[in-house]
A = this chain, B = another copy of it.
Amino acid sequence: MSAPAAPPSPSRRGRPVDPEARAARTRQILDGARRCFLRKGFHASSTAEISAEAGVSVANLYQYFPTKDDLVLALVEDDLRSDLELIALVARAPTLREGLQAASHAMYADAGFADLSRLRLDVLTEASRTPAVTAAVRAAEEKMVAAIAALLERAHANGEIDSRIAPRAAAALILSLTDGLGCRFAFHAPGVEALSDASTLFILRALGARIN
């Protein structure tokens, strides 16, 4: 049987997809969205403003993110990535204490930390009502908790801390403290800048680390 000349695979017809261009556009849009959300917040940023800021047409934005909420979802994953990097920074330090201090400085010394906190507030608020965002934030939280808990277990094995609190609980509490501090940065609570060092100490003492 002579096989009829098959077309060169039907999925190869037409214009091929360029994954790099797609990724670049995605990033471009996401950066625009982030700038808008930082500046005006989630609800105050219209899709028109976002796409203008990103240098894209509104309709094009919708081809990459079918919903305004999907922008938030993507930002959550973005931020998770950089947050995990911060934890990796802590892990690379010789002691937990030094690691925490380094991370603390990296975070709170950042001039844009108040902005980031505002964005985090927007995300959390959205997460508190929109199921899709809830799920994304929960998943991110889970990974953060796991990463920090691993750190604490290592420190415990090293005899660095004497935590009678379970590692995962401690991790969640550290994250809580960080978020709470972020809230205070977000509304410029009086004297909030002084808290960054105090918070590291607070955490270490709570973990039973030897301080002096």
Interface residues on A, range: 35 or more
Which residues from B are CB-within-8-Å of A172? 184, 189, 191-192, 195
A138-B187 in contact given A129-B118, A205-B205 (Cβ < 8 Å):
yes
Binds B, one of A24-32, A38-46, A88-96: A38-46
Answer whether residue A165 sits at the interface, using C-beta atoms and an 8 A cutoff.
yes
Q: How does the 8 Å CB contact mask read for A41-83 relative to B, with 1 for contact and 0 for none?
A: 1011000000000000100000000000000000000000000
For A117, A170, A206, A208, the residue with the greatest tally of chain B CB atoms inside 10 Å of its CB is: A206
Closest chain-B Cβ to A140's Cβ sits at a distance in Å of 10
Which residues from B are CB-within-8-Å of A175? 180, 184
Answer whether residue A1 sits at the interface, using C-beta atoms and an 8 A cutoff.
no
Query: Do A170 and B202 touch (CB < 8 A)?
Result: yes
Which residues from B are CB-within-8-Å of A208? 205
